Amino acid sequence: MNDESRTVAVLGAGTMGSGIAVVTARAGHRTLLYDVSEANLRRGVATVHGFFDESVRRGKLGDDAARAAKAALTGTTDLADLAACDVVIEAVFEDLALKKDTFARLDEIVPERTLFHTNTSTLSVTAIASGSRRPERVVGTHYCNPAPLMTLVEVADGRHTAGWAHEATIGFLGSLGKTSVVTKDRPGFIVNRFLIPWENSCIRALESGLASKEAIDAAVPGALGHPMGPFRLLDIVGMDIHQQVATRLYEQLRDERFFPPPMVERMVAAGDLGRKTGRGFYEYDDTRLFGS
């Protein structure tokens, strides 16, 4: 696989999928954003376009570049439209059976040369790859959230991932301007092994009254050099997603640090999921996932 523009499919038009679609379209690749729901797809495409509009407003992207990136993006609810894809990036719900079935269906649609990437960080890449007749082309690529703003991608090979698929994946991620770090196919990879317990500890600190959310969010970037505080980040990720990831990692690792604190359950039950619902730890008039 060379460095020319490719046809890339992103499966799932949620927070992560739409963020990855921003990255691939911005890099000049023809991008197909797929979702089974027409409503979700419309929201995903609007999210991508909104990011480019905001980038122009902030002077981070020129008008011509924004128009080209928007033109590179197409939405679809028909899996058959992915027949000419060079790379498929799966970012659907974290359910093993769903991911395996998705790759099995794609086996009948895409060419043998197509790379299959899974954005999981809690499920086994090897187990997901077993859904495909060609597990050697399946690679784990976990984009750090928010994908349009963070440069790091974790790369994890499954048991049967071929060397050519690994190398092609590293090259593709380089075309996106991403930095790759290689990790083993283990629950949480590197980032979520550290991030989920840390986020849970920040939530527990808030619950205990140690400091306000504003104080914690100011202390972390100010003293630790993080690009944003934990609660701003959680509002972008979504409390429902945090709960799912934390719970799944706890089930596999049985480490109490991964178990989501009670505040997480209360916020999810109340529908206070973060930016996408207009309310999380903070309130938002602008519900664009990658807004200011």
Q: Where do the domains of the chain lie, and which CATH numbers do they carry? A: 7-183 (3.40.50.720), 191-277 (1.10.1040.10)
Query: The whole model's pTM is what?
Result: 0.92
242 belongs to the catalytic site: no
- The one catalytic residue among 90, 117, 136, 154: 154
Q: Which helix (H) or strand (E) segment is 268 a member of?
A: helix 262-270
What sign has the CA pseudo-torsion 155, 160, 165, 167? positive
**Stronger pLDDT, 31 or 289, i.e. the higher one:** 31
- The one catalytic residue among 29, 117, 142, 242: 142
The span from the CA of 113 to the CA of 2, in Å, is 13
226 belongs to the catalytic site: no
- The one catalytic residue among 130, 175, 192, 200: 192
pLDDT digits (tens, 9 = 90+) for 225-279: 998 999 999 999 999 999 999 999 999 999 999 999 999 999 999 999 999 999 9
Quote the DSSP letter at residue 220: I
Span 17-45, average pLDDT: 97
Give the Cβ contact number of residue 74 at 10 Å: 16
Report the candidate in 79, 98, 101 with the shortest Cα–Cα distance to residue 88.
79
154 belongs to the catalytic site: yes
Under 8 Å between Cβ of 142 and 89: no
Under 8 Å between Cβ of 116 and 90: yes
pLDDT digits (tens, 9 = 90+) for 178-203: 999 999 999 999 999 999 999 999 99
pLDDT band at 146 (very low <50, low <70, confident <90, very high): confident
pLDDT band at 289 (very low <50, low <70, confident <90, very high): low
Cα angle vertex 234, ends 228, 236, to 5°?
Answer: 80
Report the candidate in 255, 133, 130, 238 with the shortest Cα–Cα distance to residue 187.
255
256 belongs to the catalytic site: no
Span 39-66, average pLDDT: 96
Residue 292 pLDDT > 50, yes or no? no
Cα angle vertex 53, ends 30, 229, to 5°?
Answer: 100
Report the candidate in 145, 132, 106, 138 with the shortest Cα–Cα distance to residue 20.
145
